[in-house]
Amino acid sequence: MWVRRLRIRHFRNIADAEVNFGRGVNVWVGDNGHGKTSALQALQVLAEHRYPSGIGDSDVVQWGASWMELRATLATVDDTEVVSRYAVQLGEHRRRLREGPTLPVVWFGPADLSTVQGGPVQRRDLLSQLAGALYPRYFPLLRKFERALTQKNHGLKERWPLATLETFNEILAETGATVWQFRKTAFDRWLPHIYALHSKLSATSSLSIRFQQGGMAGDLVLGPDAVRHRMQARFAEERQRMLSLVGPHRDDLVVELDEHSARTYASQGQQRTIALAMKLATYHVYEEFFQVPPLVLLDDVFSELDGQRRALLLEYMARHDQQTVITDTEPRHLGSCQPTFYRVQQGAFHPWP
């Protein structure tokens, strides 16, 4: 399934735009601030029927508007057209509408290049995106965990009774254990592809990545009873520090290069190699899991990558069964990809040249 047309209304800085797509590689060229990234984000939201981490309705509805709507015409393998729609109405009676099929998406932007050198939140979010794409129950469970975590942390600061706090621990143990199970399963699917891609880019360095369970020492614990026991073991410390110390909110991926921390030991080029391998590995996971090639969205990354890494991206883009959308500030030679170019000006998309 691939995207033929996209209609964007009142999304971020785009009031009203319609975008057509080619079957293969599509390149949106234009100056910064004209709507390229906003349109790419709109396509991601519509394809996945959800927002990226940390974004809500009020963040995407255009300033001064009370609603937004995204609508796409998708083509199936037998060339049948279907419609996908995502719409939001703000106000006292807020409404959100999702209609039509979804598509697996791989997004790669400049921020992804700092995955290795950044903090745990970035790596945790990357793993969360993967688990959420594979398992529909993941994000509802994570939201339930986060709501209970917020209440427990408030209770710790306000010195709520022990029995009340233990009630939240029960919820956190049940939901946290399942979140961890989904994350670990997704991680196990992902890791071999990361290693294979990294070896392709860097034959001289040995990469190691392991899943570090938040607030836990020793072996991974994935059952609710065992998680509850670990939480109870640190409960006195949590009450003293007035902060929840055990749970998926403290997870991290430990990334090592040649047995040293990649965050502090690796060069910037080595860090970018690892980050690129981690992101492109999600492509293989989605392709295997969904049995279809994912939609690939590349936001202004070519200027950030050297020739070797650009060549790897071009290799993926040249696949004829995959649709790719790229934003850039200038037209570039993209090898054998034969892209369709569009000029973007003030939120309008025109075929170009």
* Lowest-confidence segment of 44-48, 84-88, 309-313, 341-345 by average pLDDT: 309-313
Residue 3 in tokens? 């995207």
Whose structure tokens read 């009203």?
A: 16
pLDDT computed for residue 320 by the predictor: 65
Residues 123-150: tens digit of each pLDDT:
999 999 999 999 999 999 999 999 999 9
Cα torsion 270, 272, 274, 275 to 10°: value is 160
Q: What mean pLDDT do residues 98-113 have?
A: 90
Over residues 339-345, mean pLDDT: 91
> For position 331, what pLDDT does the model report?
85
pLDDT-based confidence at residue 201 (cuts at 50, 70, 90): confident
Nearest-Å Rg of the Cα atoms of the chain is 22
Per-residue confidence (pLDDT) for residue 101, from 0 to 100: 92
Phi/psi at 86 (5° precision)? -140, 125
Residue 321 burial (CB count, 10 A): 11
Angle at 22 between CA 21 and CA 23, to 5 degrees: 120
Average confidence (pLDDT) over 112-128: 91
Q: Where are the beta strands (DSSP E) in the chain?
A: 2-11, 14-20, 25-29, 67-75, 81-89, 95-99, 105-108, 207-212, 252-257, 260-261, 295-299, 324-328, 340-345, 348-351
The per-residue pLDDT for 84 is 96
Query: What does the pLDDT look like over 207-232, one tens digit per residue?
Result: 999 999 998 887 788 889 989 998 89
- CB contact at 8 A, 37 and 14: no
User: Average pLDDT in the 73-92 region?
Assistant: 92
Mean pLDDT of the chain: 91
- The pLDDT value recorded for residue 165 is 92
Q: Distance between CA atoms of 61 and 219, rounded to whole angstroms?
A: 44
Q: At 296, which amino acid appears?
A: V
pLDDT category of residue 317 using cuts at 50, 70 and 90: confident
Rounded Cα distance between 33 and 86, Å, is 24
**pLDDT for 252 beyond 90:** yes
Which residues of the chain does CATH 1.20.1050.90 include? 112-291
pLDDT for residue 242: 94
CA distances to 75, 86, 94, 230 from 71, in Å: 13, 7, 19, 47
Residue type, 138: Y
Q: Which residue has the higher pLDDT, 335 or 140?
A: 140
Question: What is the DSSP code string of 149-216?
Answer: HHHHHHHHHTT--HHHHHHHHHHHHHHHHHHHHHHHHHHHHHHHHHHHHHHHH-TT--EEEEEE-TT-
Q: Report the distance separating Cα 175 and Cα 246, nearest Å.
A: 13
Whether the ω angle into residue 140 lies within 30 degrees of 0, i.e. cis, is: no
Scored b (16 or more CB within 10 A) or e, 169-200 reads bebbbbbbbbbbbbbbebbebbbebbbebbee
Percent of the chain with pLDDT over 70: 100
Q: pLDDT tens across 262-286, in order? A: 999 998 888 988 998 998 899 999 9
| Start and end residues for every CATH 3.40.50.300 domain found in the chain | 1-104+294-353
pLDDT in tens, 10-59: 999 999 999 999 888 999 999 988 899 999 999 999 999 988 877 889 89
- Residue 77: CB atoms within 10 A of its CB come to 9
Fold of 1-104+294-353: Rossmann fold (3.40.50)
User: Going by C-beta distance under 8 Å and a sequence separation of 6 or more, which residues neighbour residue 224?
Assistant: 173, 174, 177
Fold of 112-291: Glutathione S-transferase Yfyf (Class Pi); Chain A, domain 2 (1.20.1050)
